[in-house]
Amino acid sequence: MWANKRIFSFTEDNNFLSLLNTNRPNFYKRSEILINDEYFNNITFNSTIYRHLFNLNLFASNLNKRLLAEFDTVQTEGYLRFKEFLELNHDDKKSLDLNDQKRYFVGVNETLDGNTLNRIISNLFEYQNKLIDIVKTNRIGQRIPLLKTVIIDK
């Protein structure tokens, strides 16, 4: 890589690790989830929600690691550094179980109105937030310890 008057070379290998299992899950594509030129009713809406929920469940079932990082105050003056991968335990995976799947779909005789859509979308939103919380990096420590005096140069 060229930068001004220097050449940088990277000595890293390309052995990337994944937070998912080693097998490649077969997700629905975005084009398969979206409703295109179809009559909009509870059946088409439920099929769209089913595909999206299928992708979320497949992602949750294949997720098996999370990142752990800590603030290194010795070598890097308080920058966040990768420490290790943590395996997800049973309790983490159990929090992603769908208890009542009826909450995510429109019932057969249920009218498709604003309250129904809000219920379904808010339940999907909460489930996606659970997935995001599982994937977030766990941080150890703080960049600036609580009792440290910070001097700002002018």
Query: Across the 154 residues of the chain, what is the mean pLDDT of every consecutive 10-residue run?
Result: 59 65 78 83 89 90 84 71 82 83 89 90 93 84 69 68
Residue the block writes with tokens 């010795």: 74
| pLDDT in the model for residue 91 | 85
β 65-72/79-87 pair status: antiparallel
Q: Are 20 and 11 a contacting pair, CB within 8 Å? A: no
Runs of H (alpha helix) within the chain: 30-33, 42-62, 90-94, 114-135
> What residue type is 46 in one-letter code?
N
CA 89, 92, 95 angle in degrees (round to 5)?
Answer: 145
pTM value > 0.75: no
